[in-house]
Structures are given as C-alpha cells and as structure tokens.
Amino acid sequence: MDTSTLQHKKVKLECLNAEERRAHAKETYAQKSYFQTLFNADEVNLSCKEHALQFQAEINRLVTEKNILPTIVSLESMHQYIGDELTAYDFTHGVNKLSSYFYQTDDHFKKVYHQFIRFLRNEIVKEPFLFQATPTIRLHCPKAINANLYPRYHSDIFYGHPPEEFNIWIPLTPKLGGHGFSIMSVDESKTELNKFNYDFAEFVGSATHDRSFSAHCESVAHAVEANLGEMFLFDSRCIHSGEPLKEHTRVSIDIRLLPLSQYQKMTVEYRGTGRLKILFELGHCYHELNSDQL
Ligand SMILES: [Fe+2]
C-alpha cells in the first residue's frame, strides 16, 4: 500500500485543551498496547549481536573521521581521552557536545541502519512499520559537568511522541557498573501519572525540579540489563531516564517504530515539544519510506 497518499483526518494534539489532553492521556494508559500484544510484556531484551557490533564499528569510524579522537579507543574508555567541554551537559536540553557530533552521520552509517531496519522487519515485527529517519546516538561520560541534571524521568509521549510507537534501545558499550538507564513498568508509570491526574507537563516539572520526587522515581524504576549484543525494546508509555554514569562511557542508539496498522488508525496528529517541534509523520520524524519500501 502506498502510505504517502493516505489521507488522515487528524486532530492536532496542540489543539486539545488541558482537560481533553488529560482524558486522551488517561485513555492511552488504560489500553493494552500493540507492544504488549506483540511481546506479552512491557519490555524485552532480544539478541541483535551482528547489528550491535556493526553499529559499534560505525561509531568508532565516525569518532576518528569527525576528528573527535585521532585513533580508535574502546568506546567505554572514551572519557579518558576527551575534554570536559565535550562531555558537559547543557542546562536546557541535557545534551552534551559529544553527542551533537552525531546528529549528522553519512551514507555508510545509513546503510548499516537500514540493514538493521530490515532485520527488525524480518525477525521481530511481523508487519510493515514506519521508523525514525535518523536514529538518536548518545554518548554519556562519567563525572561530566552538570551530570546532576539527571535523572530526568519521562516518557517520550510526554514530549509529544505518539503512544502507538515503541522504543528500541541498543547499548554499544558493555554494561560494566550499569548502563545508567532505568525504567518503570506501564503499571508503575500509571501509578506515578495518577498523582498528577495525567498532566504530563506537571509530571515533567516535578521529575525535573523536585529532588525528592526524582529520588522516588529512581526507587520505583529498575535498571535496564541488556548486554552488549542485545537490544532493549519497551512500551513507549514506560517512564524512564538516563542516570549519571559512574566509571565508564556509555554509547547507545535509540530509535522508535510505528507499526503501519497503528499509524493508519491514529486520530491525533502528534508534534514534538522540543527545539525542532518535529512532526511525527512520514517524511518528517519518520523516514519517507516504510520498512517494506526500503
Ligand atoms: Fe526517552
């Protein structure tokens, strides 16, 4: 089916008033998700060894080609060779300069990424899906300036993503003392959201600025345990956060998928609340081609 010609009559999320948004959020969390039906769980670790190693090699290649380092070192030891100005987090977005080097990749990286998308289509998701056009590459270093900005508990839905998506997170460094990534179940997420009457902005405000609530979220969440060579898939409604790294650099890639069947049923048009205000539509956040057209 040519999805580019599909006409959706969608309501823009930003046009809903506060009460309608809360009702929509509550309904979203009340349903059994596509992810839960597919995996019978809120989260799952699955093997993707060949692809994880390919991604790892790609990051190593880009580190030298972008002149971040003159030679290849193990990714988990990168912090030993780079300065604080690259590892420090900015206050507004909690992003470090090191990760921003990877906003742009190249054709070879895209080829590796599209091979991974085909693997997901053939082995994991048994139907066509839309996928994030540009995967998010993150590099977090231990003892970074402003590391106390983390944790920042959230679900991507709180920042405008469609709840019909699901998340895939791939570690490209070994777990060592922990990946610095924690997550709640859907039920735990519901319990926390209920305290804010499903007002996402209020939740994010407290999780970001109220240290005791942030500590509470930490106590509820559990550490992501995927080993290098595995990927961690989760229901997009799960509240999660990065945590400061202790001893090693953690490199990871995350992407979001949206099954075509879900996309076709969506009645709301979603737009990101971040700097780019990106639209979650084909040819915008998602690649212009779906998995089966790639
Ligand atoms: Fe997230």
pLDDT tens digit sequence for 247-279: 999 999 999 999 999 999 999 999 998 878 999
Mean pLDDT to the nearest integer, 122-127 = 94
Cα of 156 from ligand 1 centre, angstroms:
5
Q: Is the pLDDT of residue 3 over 70?
A: no
Cα of 183 from ligand 1 centre, angstroms:
10
Cα of 169 from ligand 1 centre, angstroms:
10
The domain made up of 8-269 has a fold known as Jelly Rolls (2.60.120)
Cα of 62 from ligand 1 centre, angstroms:
24
**Distance, CA of 35 to CA of 259 (rounded, Å):** 10
Cα of 104 from ligand 1 centre, angstroms:
20
Q: Residue 70, Cβ neighbours under 10 Å: how many?
A: 9
Cα of 70 from ligand 1 centre, angstroms:
32
Q: Is the pLDDT of residue 33 over 80?
A: yes
pLDDT category at 4 given cuts 50, 70, 90 is very low
What is the pLDDT at residue 8? Answer: 57
Residue 131 to residues 28, 69, 189, 242: CA-CA distances in angstroms?
A: 21, 31, 25, 22
Mean pLDDT to the nearest integer, 200-224 = 97
Cα of 136 from ligand 1 centre, angstroms:
10
Instruction: Give me the sign of the Cα torsion angle 213, 216, 220, 222.
Output: positive
Query: Of how many residues is the chain composed?
Result: 294
Comparing 65 with 150, the larger pLDDT belongs to 65
Q: Which two tokens stand for residue 146?
A: 């402003």
Cα of 267 from ligand 1 centre, angstroms:
23
**Distance, CA of 293 to CA of 266 (rounded, Å):** 21
pLDDT category at 1 given cuts 50, 70, 90 is very low
Q: Is the pLDDT of residue 31 over 60?
A: yes
Q: Tell me the backbone φ, ψ of residue 168, rounded to 5 degrees.
A: -125, 125
Cα of 155 from ligand 1 centre, angstroms:
6
Cα of 121 from ligand 1 centre, angstroms:
23
Cα of 54 from ligand 1 centre, angstroms:
23
Cα of 257 from ligand 1 centre, angstroms:
14
